[in-house]
Protein backbone atom coordinates (compact mmCIF):
# COMPACT_ATOMS: atom_id res chain seq x y z
CA UNK A 1 0.00 0.00 0.00
CA UNK A 2 1.76 3.13 -1.27
CA UNK A 3 1.50 6.51 0.40
CA UNK A 4 -0.76 8.99 -1.39
CA UNK A 5 0.16 12.66 -1.07
CA UNK A 6 -1.61 15.88 -1.93
CA UNK A 7 -0.75 19.53 -2.55
CA UNK A 8 -3.25 22.31 -1.83
CA UNK A 9 -3.13 25.62 -3.70
CA UNK A 10 -5.43 28.50 -2.76
CA UNK A 11 -5.64 31.21 -5.40
CA UNK A 12 -6.49 34.88 -4.89
CA UNK A 13 -4.84 38.22 -4.15
CA UNK A 14 -7.31 38.73 -1.29
CA UNK A 15 -5.70 35.84 0.60
CA UNK A 16 -2.19 37.22 0.16
CA UNK A 17 -3.29 40.70 1.24
CA UNK A 18 -4.83 39.26 4.40
CA UNK A 19 -8.30 40.52 3.45
CA UNK A 20 -9.84 37.06 3.94
CA UNK A 21 -8.78 34.07 6.00
CA UNK A 22 -7.86 30.91 4.07
CA UNK A 23 -10.22 28.37 5.63
CA UNK A 24 -10.32 26.22 2.49
CA UNK A 25 -6.92 24.59 2.92
CA UNK A 26 -7.72 23.82 6.57
CA UNK A 27 -10.97 22.09 5.58
CA UNK A 28 -9.37 20.16 2.72
CA UNK A 29 -6.47 19.00 4.91
CA UNK A 30 -8.83 17.59 7.53
CA UNK A 31 -10.91 15.77 4.94
CA UNK A 32 -7.86 14.28 3.22
CA UNK A 33 -6.41 13.09 6.52
CA UNK A 34 -9.64 11.23 7.27
CA UNK A 35 -9.23 9.14 4.10
CA UNK A 36 -5.50 8.51 4.56
CA UNK A 37 -4.07 11.07 2.12
CA UNK A 38 -1.06 12.96 3.47
CA UNK A 39 -0.83 16.66 2.69
CA UNK A 40 2.74 17.29 1.52
CA UNK A 41 2.51 20.92 0.41
CA UNK A 42 0.22 23.91 0.90
CA UNK A 43 0.53 27.41 -0.53
CA UNK A 44 -1.39 30.50 -1.54
CA UNK A 45 -0.74 32.35 -4.79
CA UNK A 46 -2.12 35.53 -6.34
CA UNK A 47 -3.99 36.02 -9.59
CA UNK A 48 -0.84 35.94 -11.73
CA UNK A 49 -0.64 33.42 -14.57
CA UNK A 50 3.10 32.74 -14.39
CA UNK A 51 3.00 32.30 -10.62
CA UNK A 52 0.05 29.91 -10.77
CA UNK A 53 1.72 27.79 -13.46
CA UNK A 54 5.03 27.73 -11.53
CA UNK A 55 3.22 26.52 -8.41
CA UNK A 56 1.40 23.83 -10.41
CA UNK A 57 4.71 22.50 -11.73
CA UNK A 58 6.18 22.40 -8.24
CA UNK A 59 3.09 20.75 -6.75
CA UNK A 60 3.17 18.07 -9.45
CA UNK A 61 6.67 17.13 -8.32
CA UNK A 62 5.60 16.95 -4.67
CA UNK A 63 2.39 14.95 -4.76
CA UNK A 64 -0.05 12.59 -6.45
CA UNK A 65 -3.05 14.89 -6.10
CA UNK A 66 -3.05 18.64 -6.73
CA UNK A 67 -6.07 20.53 -5.37
CA UNK A 68 -6.81 24.16 -6.24
CA UNK A 69 -9.48 26.54 -4.98
CA UNK A 70 -10.38 29.99 -6.27
CA UNK A 71 -10.26 31.97 -9.49
CA UNK A 72 -13.24 30.33 -11.22
CA UNK A 73 -15.60 33.31 -11.17
CA UNK A 74 -16.86 35.22 -14.23
CA UNK A 75 -14.75 38.38 -13.84
CA UNK A 76 -11.47 39.30 -15.52
CA UNK A 77 -9.36 38.65 -12.44
CA UNK A 78 -10.52 35.01 -12.33
CA UNK A 79 -7.81 33.39 -14.45
CA UNK A 80 -7.55 29.84 -13.08
CA UNK A 81 -9.24 28.27 -16.12
CA UNK A 82 -6.94 30.14 -18.50
CA UNK A 83 -3.91 28.92 -16.55
CA UNK A 84 -5.15 25.32 -16.58
CA UNK A 85 -5.89 25.58 -20.30
CA UNK A 86 -2.28 26.56 -20.92
CA UNK A 87 -0.84 24.08 -18.43
CA UNK A 88 -2.61 21.12 -20.04
CA UNK A 89 -2.40 22.55 -23.57
CA UNK A 90 -6.16 22.16 -23.68
CA UNK A 91 -8.22 25.00 -25.26
CA UNK A 92 -11.25 26.45 -23.50
CA UNK A 93 -14.49 25.23 -25.01
CA UNK A 94 -18.16 25.67 -24.16
CA UNK A 95 -19.10 22.54 -22.23
CA UNK A 96 -22.74 21.61 -22.79
CA UNK A 97 -23.13 19.83 -19.46
CA UNK A 98 -21.71 22.84 -17.63
CA UNK A 99 -23.92 25.20 -19.63
CA UNK A 100 -27.04 23.24 -18.71
CA UNK A 101 -26.11 23.26 -15.03
CA UNK A 102 -25.34 27.00 -14.98
CA UNK A 103 -28.56 27.77 -16.89
CA UNK A 104 -30.62 25.65 -14.52
CA UNK A 105 -29.07 27.43 -11.53
CA UNK A 106 -30.21 30.85 -12.79
CA UNK A 107 -33.57 29.58 -14.01
CA UNK A 108 -34.44 28.15 -10.59
CA UNK A 109 -33.83 31.57 -9.12
CA UNK A 110 -35.73 33.46 -11.82
CA UNK A 111 -32.61 35.34 -12.92
CA UNK A 112 -31.64 35.75 -16.59
CA UNK A 113 -28.36 34.12 -17.71
CA UNK A 114 -25.89 36.78 -18.81
CA UNK A 115 -23.09 36.36 -21.34
CA UNK A 116 -20.63 36.73 -18.49
CA UNK A 117 -22.18 33.82 -16.60
CA UNK A 118 -22.40 31.82 -19.82
CA UNK A 119 -18.60 32.02 -20.02
CA UNK A 120 -18.43 30.05 -16.78
CA UNK A 121 -19.42 27.00 -18.84
CA UNK A 122 -16.23 27.36 -20.88
CA UNK A 123 -13.67 24.90 -19.57
CA UNK A 124 -10.53 23.17 -20.91
CA UNK A 125 -11.46 20.32 -23.25
CA UNK A 126 -9.50 17.74 -21.26
CA UNK A 127 -11.32 18.51 -18.00
CA UNK A 128 -14.07 16.42 -16.46
CA UNK A 129 -16.89 18.43 -14.91
CA UNK A 130 -17.51 18.51 -11.16
CA UNK A 131 -21.06 19.73 -10.67
CA UNK A 132 -21.46 22.74 -8.39
CA UNK A 133 -24.73 22.18 -6.54
CA UNK A 134 -24.29 25.36 -4.51
CA UNK A 135 -23.18 27.90 -7.13
CA UNK A 136 -22.45 28.67 -10.78
CA UNK A 137 -18.76 27.87 -11.24
CA UNK A 138 -18.24 24.18 -12.12
CA UNK A 139 -15.29 22.33 -10.70
CA UNK A 140 -12.80 20.48 -12.89
CA UNK A 141 -10.97 17.16 -12.68
CA UNK A 142 -7.85 16.51 -14.79
CA UNK A 143 -5.64 13.44 -15.04
CA UNK A 144 -2.08 13.64 -16.34
CA UNK A 145 0.94 11.33 -15.93
CA UNK A 146 -0.66 9.42 -13.01
CA UNK A 147 -1.48 12.71 -11.29
CA UNK A 148 -4.90 14.15 -10.48
CA UNK A 149 -5.54 17.89 -10.68
CA UNK A 150 -8.71 19.23 -9.08
CA UNK A 151 -9.96 22.80 -9.39
CA UNK A 152 -12.85 24.04 -7.24
CA UNK A 153 -14.53 27.38 -6.48
CA UNK A 154 -13.03 29.48 -3.71
CA UNK A 155 -16.35 30.26 -2.00
CA UNK A 156 -16.09 28.07 1.13
CA UNK A 157 -19.62 26.62 1.23
CA UNK A 158 -19.50 25.80 -2.50
CA UNK A 159 -16.06 24.22 -2.21
CA UNK A 160 -16.90 22.21 0.90
CA UNK A 161 -20.04 20.69 -0.60
CA UNK A 162 -18.25 19.86 -3.86
CA UNK A 163 -15.25 18.36 -2.09
CA UNK A 164 -17.35 16.15 0.21
CA UNK A 165 -19.84 14.95 -2.39
CA UNK A 166 -17.91 14.95 -5.67
CA UNK A 167 -14.18 14.80 -4.96
CA UNK A 168 -13.70 12.61 -1.89
CA UNK A 169 -15.67 9.64 -3.33
CA UNK A 170 -13.60 9.73 -6.55
CA UNK A 171 -10.30 9.88 -4.65
CA UNK A 172 -11.35 6.91 -2.52
CA UNK A 173 -12.28 4.95 -5.64
CA UNK A 174 -8.95 5.67 -7.31
CA UNK A 175 -6.54 5.13 -4.41
CA UNK A 176 -6.18 2.46 -1.77
CA UNK A 177 -4.91 4.65 1.05
CA UNK A 178 -3.55 3.79 4.51
CA UNK A 179 -5.37 4.63 7.72
CA UNK A 180 -4.21 7.81 9.44
CA UNK A 181 -5.25 8.41 13.07
CA UNK A 182 -4.58 11.47 15.22
CA UNK A 183 -4.82 11.67 19.00
CA UNK A 184 -4.45 14.87 21.01
CA UNK A 185 -3.26 14.81 24.62
CA UNK A 186 -3.81 18.15 26.38
CA UNK A 187 -1.25 19.40 28.90
CA UNK A 188 -1.03 22.53 31.06
CA UNK A 189 1.30 23.93 33.67
CA UNK A 190 4.53 22.95 31.92
CA UNK A 191 6.50 24.51 29.07
CA UNK A 192 7.34 22.78 25.82
CA UNK A 193 11.06 22.30 26.49
CA UNK A 194 10.52 20.95 30.04
CA UNK A 195 7.79 18.65 28.78
CA UNK A 196 10.07 17.37 26.03
CA UNK A 197 12.73 16.46 28.58
CA UNK A 198 10.27 14.59 30.80
CA UNK A 199 8.93 12.41 27.98
CA UNK A 200 12.11 12.04 25.92
CA UNK A 201 12.62 8.32 26.67
CA UNK A 202 8.94 7.54 25.98
CA UNK A 203 9.13 9.47 22.72
CA UNK A 204 12.20 7.53 21.55
CA UNK A 205 10.41 4.24 22.15
CA UNK A 206 7.36 5.13 20.04
CA UNK A 207 6.58 2.59 17.28
CA UNK A 208 8.02 3.55 13.89
CA UNK A 209 4.56 4.16 12.46
CA UNK A 210 3.58 6.57 15.27
CA UNK A 211 4.95 10.12 15.37
CA UNK A 212 4.71 12.91 17.93
CA UNK A 213 4.25 16.64 17.43
CA UNK A 214 4.34 19.43 20.04
CA UNK A 215 1.68 22.13 19.56
CA UNK A 216 2.33 24.92 22.09
CA UNK A 217 -0.19 27.61 22.97
CA UNK A 218 -0.90 30.05 25.82
CA UNK A 219 0.47 28.18 28.83
CA UNK A 220 -0.50 24.88 27.27
CA UNK A 221 1.05 22.23 25.03
CA UNK A 222 -0.96 19.82 22.91
CA UNK A 223 0.77 16.54 22.17
CA UNK A 224 -0.42 15.12 18.87
CA UNK A 225 0.16 11.43 18.22
CA UNK A 226 -0.21 10.44 14.56
CA UNK A 227 -0.31 6.81 13.51
CA UNK A 228 -0.23 5.39 9.98
CA UNK A 229 -1.17 1.79 9.20
CA UNK A 230 -3.42 -0.64 7.37
CA UNK A 231 -5.80 -1.50 10.22
CA UNK A 232 -7.90 1.09 12.05
CA UNK A 233 -8.41 -1.18 15.08
CA UNK A 234 -4.72 -2.06 15.38
CA UNK A 235 -3.70 1.56 15.01
CA UNK A 236 -6.23 2.67 17.61
CA UNK A 237 -4.88 0.11 20.06
CA UNK A 238 -1.28 1.19 19.42
CA UNK A 239 -2.03 4.84 20.09
CA UNK A 240 -4.22 4.08 23.12
CA UNK A 241 -1.38 2.04 24.64
CA UNK A 242 1.02 4.94 24.16
CA UNK A 243 -1.40 7.42 25.74
CA UNK A 244 -1.75 5.17 28.81
CA UNK A 245 2.03 5.11 29.19
CA UNK A 246 2.17 8.88 28.82
CA UNK A 247 -0.47 9.41 31.51
CA UNK A 248 1.55 7.33 33.96
CA UNK A 249 4.65 9.37 33.12
CA UNK A 250 3.25 12.92 33.51
CA UNK A 251 -0.13 12.56 35.26
CA UNK A 252 -0.15 15.97 36.91
CA UNK A 253 0.22 17.83 33.61
CA UNK A 254 -2.42 16.04 31.50
CA UNK A 255 -5.91 17.44 31.85
CA UNK A 256 -7.70 15.93 28.87
CA UNK A 257 -7.71 14.55 25.35
CA UNK A 258 -8.88 15.38 21.84
CA UNK A 259 -9.00 19.16 22.06
CA UNK A 260 -11.02 19.54 25.27
CA UNK A 261 -10.44 23.02 26.71
CA UNK A 262 -9.33 23.75 30.25
CA UNK A 263 -12.52 25.67 30.92
CA UNK A 264 -14.61 22.69 29.84
CA UNK A 265 -12.53 20.28 31.94
CA UNK A 266 -12.99 22.52 34.96
CA UNK A 267 -16.73 22.56 34.36
CA UNK A 268 -16.84 18.77 34.21
CA UNK A 269 -14.92 18.46 37.48
CA UNK A 270 -17.15 20.98 39.25
CA UNK A 271 -20.28 19.30 37.91
CA UNK A 272 -19.18 15.88 39.13
CA UNK A 273 -19.04 17.17 42.72
CA UNK A 274 -21.87 19.71 42.52
CA UNK A 275 -19.44 22.53 43.32
CA UNK A 276 -19.47 26.18 42.26
CA UNK A 277 -17.07 28.86 41.10
CA UNK A 278 -16.73 32.65 41.11
CA UNK A 279 -14.08 34.96 39.66
CA UNK A 280 -12.45 38.26 40.62
CA UNK A 281 -10.56 39.85 37.74
CA UNK A 282 -8.29 42.84 37.52
CA UNK A 283 -5.65 42.58 34.77
CA UNK A 284 -7.64 40.06 32.71
CA UNK A 285 -10.55 42.47 32.47
CA UNK A 286 -13.30 39.87 32.00
CA UNK A 287 -11.50 37.56 29.58
CA UNK A 288 -11.28 34.79 32.17
CA UNK A 289 -15.02 35.02 32.77
CA UNK A 290 -15.59 34.94 29.02
CA UNK A 291 -13.67 31.65 28.73
CA UNK A 292 -15.53 30.04 31.61
CA UNK A 293 -18.98 31.11 30.41
CA UNK A 294 -18.29 30.08 26.80
CA UNK A 295 -18.90 26.49 27.92
CA UNK A 296 -22.52 25.39 27.37
CA UNK A 297 -24.19 24.65 30.70
CA UNK A 298 -21.71 26.73 32.71
CA UNK A 299 -24.59 28.42 34.55
CA UNK A 300 -24.91 25.22 36.60
CA UNK A 301 -21.63 25.92 38.41
CA UNK A 302 -20.48 29.46 37.53
CA UNK A 303 -22.12 31.94 39.91
CA UNK A 304 -20.65 35.26 38.83
CA UNK A 305 -17.64 37.56 38.66
CA UNK A 306 -16.38 40.97 39.68
CA UNK A 307 -14.09 42.98 37.42
CA UNK A 308 -12.26 44.92 40.09
CA UNK A 309 -10.03 47.00 37.85
CA UNK A 310 -9.78 50.00 40.14
CA UNK A 311 -8.43 49.66 43.67
CA UNK A 312 -11.62 51.22 45.10
CA UNK A 313 -13.62 48.36 43.60
CA UNK A 314 -11.25 45.81 45.11
CA UNK A 315 -11.82 47.42 48.50
CA UNK A 316 -15.59 48.00 48.31
CA UNK A 317 -16.71 44.91 46.39
CA UNK A 318 -14.16 42.29 47.48
CA UNK A 319 -13.27 43.48 51.01
CA UNK A 320 -9.59 43.87 50.15
CA UNK A 321 -7.93 45.88 52.90
CA UNK A 322 -6.79 49.35 51.88
CA UNK A 323 -3.79 48.76 54.13
CA UNK A 324 -2.86 45.68 52.10
CA UNK A 325 -2.96 47.62 48.84
CA UNK A 326 -1.10 50.54 50.39
CA UNK A 327 1.66 48.33 51.78
CA UNK A 328 2.05 45.69 49.06
CA UNK A 329 0.39 47.19 45.99
CA UNK A 330 -2.49 45.94 43.85
CA UNK A 331 -0.19 43.51 42.06
CA UNK A 332 0.94 41.36 44.95
CA UNK A 333 0.42 37.99 46.58
CA UNK A 334 -1.34 39.57 49.53
CA UNK A 335 -3.83 41.54 47.44
CA UNK A 336 -4.67 38.76 45.02
CA UNK A 337 -5.30 36.36 47.92
CA UNK A 338 -7.69 38.80 49.57
CA UNK A 339 -9.43 39.32 46.21
CA UNK A 340 -10.05 35.58 45.87
CA UNK A 341 -11.22 35.20 49.46
CA UNK A 342 -13.52 38.20 49.23
CA UNK A 343 -14.95 36.91 45.96
CA UNK A 344 -15.66 33.45 47.37
CA UNK A 345 -17.43 35.01 50.34
CA UNK A 346 -19.39 37.44 48.15
CA UNK A 347 -20.76 34.72 45.85
CA UNK A 348 -20.80 31.85 48.42
CA UNK A 349 -18.98 29.48 46.06
CA UNK A 350 -16.84 26.38 46.52
CA UNK A 351 -13.94 28.00 44.67
CA UNK A 352 -12.88 31.47 43.64
CA UNK A 353 -10.02 32.53 41.41
CA UNK A 354 -8.52 36.01 41.12
CA UNK A 355 -6.07 37.81 38.83
CA UNK A 356 -4.03 40.97 39.25
CA UNK A 357 -1.14 42.11 37.12
CA UNK A 358 0.46 44.66 34.83
CA UNK A 359 -0.77 43.94 31.31
CA UNK A 360 1.10 46.87 29.76
CA UNK A 361 2.37 48.50 27.74
CA UNK A 362 2.72 51.07 30.54
CA UNK A 363 2.45 50.81 34.31
CA UNK A 364 5.54 48.70 34.97
CA UNK A 365 8.44 49.43 37.30
CA UNK A 366 11.87 47.87 37.97
CA UNK A 367 10.34 45.92 40.85
CA UNK A 368 7.17 44.98 38.96
CA UNK A 369 7.77 45.11 35.21
CA UNK A 370 5.08 44.73 32.57
CA UNK A 371 4.02 41.09 32.48
CA UNK A 372 4.08 40.64 36.27
CA UNK A 373 0.97 38.61 37.12
CA UNK A 374 -0.36 37.27 40.41
CA UNK A 375 -3.10 34.62 40.46
CA UNK A 376 -4.85 33.09 43.48
CA UNK A 377 -7.30 30.26 44.00
CA UNK A 378 -9.20 29.72 47.23
CA UNK A 379 -11.49 27.02 48.60
CA UNK A 380 -12.66 25.89 52.02
CA UNK A 381 -9.21 24.46 52.83
CA UNK A 382 -6.74 27.19 51.88
CA UNK A 383 -5.76 29.97 49.50
CA UNK A 384 -2.87 29.43 47.11
CA UNK A 385 -1.19 32.06 44.93
CA UNK A 386 1.37 32.01 42.15
CA UNK A 387 3.45 34.69 40.45
CA UNK A 388 4.16 34.78 36.73
CA UNK A 389 6.52 36.95 34.71
CA UNK A 390 5.47 37.05 31.06
CA UNK A 391 6.99 39.98 29.15
CA UNK A 392 4.56 39.94 26.25
CA UNK A 393 2.25 42.54 24.71
CA UNK A 394 -1.00 43.57 26.41
CA UNK A 395 -3.43 41.23 24.65
CA UNK A 396 -1.12 38.22 24.99
CA UNK A 397 -0.57 39.01 28.67
CA UNK A 398 -4.33 39.00 29.23
CA UNK A 399 -4.77 35.70 27.40
CA UNK A 400 -1.78 34.03 29.08
CA UNK A 401 -2.88 35.19 32.53
CA UNK A 402 -6.37 33.79 31.94
CA UNK A 403 -5.02 30.39 30.91
CA UNK A 404 -2.61 30.43 33.86
CA UNK A 405 -5.57 31.12 36.16
CA UNK A 406 -7.51 28.21 34.66
CA UNK A 407 -4.46 25.97 35.09
CA UNK A 408 -4.01 26.85 38.75
CA UNK A 409 -7.74 26.34 39.33
CA UNK A 410 -7.72 22.97 37.56
CA UNK A 411 -4.72 21.84 39.61
CA UNK A 412 -6.44 22.83 42.84
CA UNK A 413 -9.74 21.14 41.96
CA UNK A 414 -7.91 18.00 40.84
CA UNK A 415 -5.95 17.89 44.07
CA UNK A 416 -9.17 18.15 46.09
CA UNK A 417 -10.74 15.44 43.93
CA UNK A 418 -7.78 13.19 44.69
CA UNK A 419 -6.91 12.89 41.03
CA UNK A 420 -4.79 14.64 38.43
CA UNK A 421 -7.28 13.91 35.66
Query: For residue range 99-120, what is the model confidence (pLDDT) as tens digits?
Result: 998 888 888 888 888 888 888 8
Each residue's pLDDT tens digit, 120-178: 889 999 999 999 999 889 999 999 989 999 999 999 999 999 999 999 999 999 998 88
What confidence tier does 1 reach under pLDDT thresholds 50, 70, 90?
low
Whether residue 94 contacts residue 120, with contact meaning beta carbons closer than 8 Å, is answered with no
pLDDT-based confidence at residue 186 (cuts at 50, 70, 90): very high
Kindly list the structural domains of the chain, giving each domain's residue range(s) and its CATH number in brackets, ordered by start. 5-174 (3.40.980.10), 179-257 (3.30.70.2860), 262-417 (3.90.950.20)
Is the per-residue pLDDT at 271 higher than 90? yes
The answer to whether the beta carbons of residues 70 and 116 sit under 8 Å apart is: no
Over residues 59-106, the pLDDT tens digits come to 999 999 999 999 998 877 789 999 999 999 999 999 999 899 888 888
Mean pLDDT of the chain, nearest integer? 94
User: What is the arithmetic mean of pLDDT over 299-315?
Assistant: 97
- Write out pLDDT tens, residues 249-259: 999 999 999 98
In this predicted structure, what is the pLDDT of residue 420?
44
pLDDT in tens, 344-353: 999 999 999 9
Amino acid sequence: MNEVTASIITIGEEILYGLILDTNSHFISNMLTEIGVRVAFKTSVGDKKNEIIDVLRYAELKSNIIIMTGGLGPTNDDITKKCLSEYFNSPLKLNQQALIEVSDYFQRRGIPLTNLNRKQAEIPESAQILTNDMGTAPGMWFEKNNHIFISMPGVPHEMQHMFKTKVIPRIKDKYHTPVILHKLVMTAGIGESWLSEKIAIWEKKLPKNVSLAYLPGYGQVKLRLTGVGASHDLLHKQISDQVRKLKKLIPKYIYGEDGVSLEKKIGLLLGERNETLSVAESCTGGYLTHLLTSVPGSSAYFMGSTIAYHNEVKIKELDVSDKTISKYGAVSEETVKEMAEGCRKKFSTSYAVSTSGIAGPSGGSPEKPVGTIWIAVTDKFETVAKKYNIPKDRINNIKFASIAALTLLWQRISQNNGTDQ
